[in-house]
Structure 1
């Protein structure tokens, strides 16, 4: 049998045999072959010895949608799976018979219980319910291959690379937990699965004029988004910490907001002094009998609001209209970075800024964090009061430009 370096030009030029079929082996990927029949159709296969028997595994017919590069990629994945002890030629039914019969869905309650005490449990539930269970829930856990996981993650990453990486991390954690509980699971199939590239770190900070205009634009944005985004600007806390805040966390007399450890990203309870401007916003919010939330979702008082994408797009457009120029893309998280930069400009010390942001990093990390227990509460209040005055000054400056 011939063995050549296959190319698309050679495949197109291949003449069909007078009868039967011919096979040509690819010298680039050992085991990859192309079959050419009397009709002229070209089909890629992989031939490999599995369990003492030589098996042919059909990859697909050569076409504009499935070319030589696709066949080589698929062949390498299959050959790698075989080397790891799998049998891609087995039917799903056969693979299920070899496995324990436990599906991802039947194992999910035990996995969730094992992760119940983690701060990220809500995120774990969200990823499983929205992505993993709808796609793999009814599959026997041992039968899901690395190639299938790669295709699944690739599909998510086409629209959201960050979510693709997040889903892969949660699925890998599940398999890490499942590995000692499934006798026929040879390894974690996520380990060498395709992973979307890490996103570039953002450094976007709103300029003084952009921040002043944004504050004024929010005059026309009703609750929950207008007041909530203003609290983001004034406090520098995380989006989830603001939008999911409970009324019981706020002491208006003490001008204090306490974010409990269960809701803080780093698991450390956080005291946020409230400036007069922030307190005014909170006191203006109308309480709902069916909700303990500061910003309850419409029709569901147990949750915070949704619909961020459309709302932020609308606010971005309004900001550009008021500025009368294009504005580079910004996100709600950039408001947190803007506060940190603004505090630096106002002369606030780094360790105080980190305390405002509830960061356990930089000046508060390592051995310093162990022995330095001062929480900078008074300094935080001074910093946030100064920042609130600066934001209002910037907003007034932009209003003056409009009227003159």
Structure 2
């Protein structure tokens, strides 16, 4: 390692100019400011870094690139790897970084616009995908849901907010009052994570979510569609067409969760399209899940168009309107579906009721509970405790048989002038 940088600016500049790159990266400590280093890459590129402790852990913060003259007097007020800093400016910036770290503030977060709400939300999503908030990144599907909720239910209502520090609990309550009950609970959950995130709490000075009134918990639903309602929804889905219509039909036939089908990718389908394989990262309980497809479900998939982008590249998503992202227009799709259901409209029902309906109808068909649990990919159920630990049987044959029985029942229910007889004991 080379010797320390001389204390006087002119001598320091001359010393740096005389440096020669080596085959390995060099860190040259400054003699005047503890913790400040000049970093020289084998390419000859020079940058400034500060070594300090943040939350009790050793950390390195890149504060800018070396420039003999430096930028204007404001240089060093933020942390940016692209700003140009002279020796004098780098020392001032390092002193500020170390002082901020001692006060418990992470100076690396200063690269965020300290007042822009949108910039903070963008950084929140970026952090969720990269490192998460508890030492590991959140699931990709969870980060996608955070992003969707922020873009749909939060940002549009806070366009007037120019400084994040002006927000308080009343702003949260006003925002929630504009949303439907389900969207209200989702937005509150995301905002809870956002305002508890240390950089945001430090920027505002407190966790404002703690003072806001939490939305009421969702009442447990037990809505199951009758056979007549199943037929109505199925016929309405046919009228809706791609992508929402066939997506709804697959939700009913497979009993899977909404986003598991809506985000379906072509590579998740088997070569003969008679099964879906969902990786652990795509399921709620983080377990790989195989969903057999009955002939009716397979026929629906075989009839789907393959959407391509403007350059003619086929989309990886089975259900999409943009070719770049999966289908997400659930509110508009549900509204269109309800209109096609005709009058009188179906009483209060949600897409998730299709999953409950599938499970209920499987029970009516005499399917064993553990098979239904396997189809739904439930973590808990009849097989639990020690049995759950040692029983690794995946019920693939039973799942296929059950879903084929259910598909035949759906065909009978949705056919015209067909009487459905109960299965004999």
In the TM superposition, residue 270 of structure 1 has moved relative to its aligned partner by 1.3
Q: 1:295 aligns with which of 319, 332, 335?
A: 319
Tell me what 2:189 maps to: 169
* Structure 1 residues 23-47: Cα deviation after superposition (integer angstroms, max 9, x where no partner): xxxxxxxxxxxxxxxxxxxxxxxxx
Secondary structure, aligned partner of 1:271: strand
How far, CA to CA, are the matches of 1:310 and 1:105 in structure 2? 25
1:5-404 alignment runs, 5 A limit: 102-103=114-115, 104-116=117-129, 117-119=137-139, 120-133=142-155, 135=158, 140-156=163-179, 160-178=180-198, 182=202, 185=205, 187-253=206-272, 255-290=274-309, 291-297=315-321, 300-321=322-343, 327-363=346-382, 368-396=387-415, 398-400=416-418
CA-to-partner distance for each residue in 1:131-186, whole Å, 9 max, x for gaps? Answer: 44451795554543223322332333xxx12222222221221222226972872x
Provide closer, same or farther for how the CA distance between residues 155 and 368 of structure 1 changes in structure 2, counting only shifts above 3 A.
farther
Preserved contact between residue 265 and residue 317 of structure 2 (Cα < 8 Å): yes
Whole-angstrom distance in 2 between the partners of 1:212 and 1:188: 49
Give secondary structure in 2 for the equivalent of 1:170: helix
SS at match of 2:208: coil
Distance 1:289 1:233 in 2: 27
Structure 2: distance between partners of 1:248 and 1:284? 17
Aligned length: 292
Per-residue CA deviations over 1:84-105 (Å, capped at 9, x if unaligned) read: xxxxxxxxxxxxxxxx983344
Aligned residue for 1:257, secondary structure, equals strand
SS, match of residue 182 in structure 1: helix
TM-score normalised by length of structure 1: 0.64
Task: Measure, in 2, the Cα distance between the counterparts of 1:217 and 1:161.
Answer: 26
Distance 1:367 1:146 in 2: 46
Instruction: Considering Cα pairs closer than 8 Å and 6+ residues apart, tell me whether 1 or 2 has the greater RCO.
Output: 1
Compute the displacement of 1:128 (Å).
2.7
Post-superposition CA distance 1:265-291 (Å, at most 9, x none) = 333221000111111111111223331
Instruction: Provide the aligned C-alpha RMSD in A.
Output: 2.8
Matched-pair contact (CA < 8 Å) for 2:165–2:203: no
State the alpha-carbon separation in 1 of the partners of residues 201 and 338 from structure 2: 49
Cα displacement string for residues 199-234 of structure 1 (whole angstroms, at most 9, x for unaligned residues): 222211111222234334444332222322221111
Return 5+ residue gaps in structure 2 as ranges: 1-109, 130-136, 310-314, 420-425
2:224 and 2:356 in contact (8 A); partners too: yes
User: Distance in 2 between the 1:163 and 1:326 partners?
Assistant: 22
Normalising by the residue count of structure 2, what TM-score does the alignment of the two structures yield?
0.61
The answer to whether the 8 Å contact 2:256/2:376 transfers is yes
Separation in 2, partners of 1:373, 1:231: 27
Q: In terms of mean alpha carbon deviation, does 308-317 or 286-295 score higher?
A: 308-317
Taking the aligned partners of 2:119 and 2:232, their CA distance within structure 1 comes to 52
Q: Secondary structure at the match of 1:293?
A: coil
